[in-house]
A and B are shown apart, each in its own frame.
Chain A
Amino acid sequence: MVVPEIRVQAEPFDLAAEVARISVGRQDIGAVVTFTGLCRSENGALAALELEHYPGMAEDELRRVADDAIRRWPLDGVIVIHRYGKLRPGDSIVLVVTASAHRQAAFESANYLMDYLKTRAPFWKKEHASDGSSGDWVAAKQADEQAADRW
């Protein structure tokens, strides 16, 4: 059984290093899919996003979602990294890496992981506006719930 690698951290991550970590020295992996989520500026309106999380539960819940993916697809490796703290437009927020013998499992499971972590992992985003005002908490989108329900 594949054990997913889960990290919740303030620091940025290195995409190439994570892909190497999952695939170097392996001859059975035919596909590695990565998804990187970034902080948008919302056309200049947003100065930063502040990400709050529930320490302990955030890691546990990401691991549960990753374990679900490992049960559903024939995966050879899963890495999920989610950042917290103050992030600026252009900064990375989340990384999902999936590895499998064939591309379909890698693509589909990466998509599944993102849909589910958005609705299950305890993270919350607060917007800080470019005009200096401390903005609102981002509201959860109905579309995210629907995206998770399709699985």
Chain B
Amino acid sequence: MKVLYFAWLRERIGKAEEEVVFPASISTARDAMQHLATQGEEYAYAFENPQIIRIALDRRHVPPETPIGAAREIAFFPPMTGG
């Protein structure tokens, strides 16, 4: 699955995107985030405050409890500051 990071998540992790094969036990967007948080100290730092992180599945905002299902792309980012 394609995983994207934006803004300070991208900076902390040190990459904008990567391809991740999640274990079969991962079913929701929150599970995916918790799994990524264990992938090294840069990931732990990026996800240290998970309740403020926003998630998009296939380019739509979703709540963390949303099942990943057949989505091809998941993105993690801080609250938005456009406009």
Could you tell me how many residues of chain A have their Cβ less than 8 Å away from some Cβ of chain B? 28
Given known contacts A54-B6, A54-B59, A57-B59, is B78 in contact with A123 (CB within 8 Å)? no
* Chain A at the B interface: SS class: mixed
Among residues of A, the one whose C-beta sits closest to the C-beta of B52 is: A140
A41 to chain B, nearest CB (A): 17
Q: Which residue of B lies closest to A49 (CB)?
A: B81
Q: Which residues of A contact B56 (CB under 8 A)?
A: 54, 57, 122
Which residues of B are at the interface with A, using a C-beta cutoff of 8 A? 4, 6-8, 10, 56, 59-61, 75, 77-83
**Other A-B pairs beyond A61-B59, A123-B82, A137-B8, 5, CB < 8 Å:** A51-B82, A57-B59, A118-B82, A120-B61, A123-B81
A residues sitting closer than 8 Å to B (CB atoms) are 37, 51-54, 56-57, 60-61, 82, 93-94, 114, 117-126, 137-140, 144
